[in-house]
């Protein structure tokens, strides 16, 4: 009985958020078309709405730990769920994401992602996309900010192991910026592949910055070790024993 109730509440949560996404997209559209501030304001409003409704509808609370980014830097994050995207964006003043190019064609999301400066990446052509992005930054086409990359390239189910992709180092090396690692346990409560949402405390934790200038082997080993170790600890804290 409780399982059926949980599924029902999760379905209502998903549906009302889809409706709200459309409403926010329409209401903010005139401002978003003429100003990136309008697009970012719309995205922030939607993030706050999702986090608020998750709390009172689902019993799903959220917590940001560590120090969110304040200046221009590269953010290399663990990706388990749409929820960690929302939490990182809401906590960061100028976040923009490297994303699959297909997302550009998603209603509402595609337009607003483009307007806030997200970088679309072709599957199988990641190196070319990174090169193009760097050229845009240097020429002033892409506004400065906090570029978020998911170093494993996709959402990873809690307990699943996937390699860290070298594209993160390419950005870190060529942009010559500090890299801010991010850990999470969000996938325990907002898993991929299902509408069921679970109560609990979802955490996104900004870890100690990795200074610019490290070599590839040292950087990649440090990034993976720190993000995976802390993500495992956050999941264990929430009761995950996988």
Among candidate residues 63, 51, 237, 75, the one with its CA nearest the CA of residue 158: 237
Residue 2 pLDDT level (bands cut at 50, 70, 90): low
Q: Is residue 54 part of a domain?
A: no
Q: Which DSSP helix (H) or strand (E) runs through 31?
A: helix 29-34
Tokens (6 digits) for 69: 């980014």
pLDDT: which is higher, 224 or 121: 224
Q: Is residue 30 part of a domain?
A: no
CA 121 to chain centre: 15
Tokens (6 digits) for 140: 């002033």
Total tally of structural domains belonging to the chain: 1
What is the gyration radius of the CA atoms in the chain, in angstroms?
Answer: 18
Q: Is residue 12 part of a domain?
A: no
Q: Is residue 173 part of a domain?
A: yes
Q: Is residue 45 part of a domain?
A: no
Dist CA 77 CA 180 (whole Å): 8
- pLDDT mean over 93-105: 89
Q: Which pLDDT value is given to residue 3? A: 79
pTM here? 0.93
pLDDT: which is higher, 176 or 226: 226
Task: Give the domain CATH number at 218.
Answer: 3.40.1130.10
Q: Which pLDDT value is given to residue 143? A: 66
Tokens (6 digits) for 71: 């200046």
Q: Is residue 134 part of a domain?
A: yes
β pairing state of 200-206 and 179-184:
antiparallel
Range of the domain at 177: 61-237
Q: Is residue 143 part of a domain?
A: yes
Q: Is residue 31 part of a domain?
A: no
């Amino acid at each position: 009985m409780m399982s059926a109730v949980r599924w029902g509440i999760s379905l209502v949560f998903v549906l009302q958020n889809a409706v709200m996404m459309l409403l926010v997209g329409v209401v903010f559209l005139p401002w978003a078309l003429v100003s990136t501030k309008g697009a970012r304001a719309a995205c922030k409003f939607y993030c706050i709405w999702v986090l608020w409704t998750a709390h009172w509808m689902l019993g799903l609370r959220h917590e940001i730990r560590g120090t969110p980014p304040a200046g221009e830097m590269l953010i290399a994050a663990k990706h388990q769920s749409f929820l960690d995207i929302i939490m990182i964006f809401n906590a960061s003043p100028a976040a923009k994401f490297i994303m699959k190019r297909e997302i550009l064609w998603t209603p509402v999301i595609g337009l607003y992602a483009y307007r806030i400066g997200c970088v679309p990446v072709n599957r199988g052509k990641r190196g070319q996309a990174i090169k193009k992005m760097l050229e845009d930054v240097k020429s002033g086409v892409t506004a400065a900010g906090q570029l978020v990359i998911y170093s494993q390239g996709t959402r990873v189910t809690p307990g699943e192991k996937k390699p860290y992709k070298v594209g993160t180092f390419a950005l870190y090396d060529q942009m010559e910026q500090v890299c801010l690692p991010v850990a999470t346990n969000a996938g325990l409560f907002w898993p991929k592949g299902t509408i069921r949402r679970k109560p609990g405390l979802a955490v996104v934790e900004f870890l100690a910055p990795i200074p610019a200038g490290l070599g590839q082997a040292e950087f990649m080993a440090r990034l993976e070790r720190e993000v995976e170790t802390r993500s495992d600890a956050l999941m264990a804290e929430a009761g995950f024993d996988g």
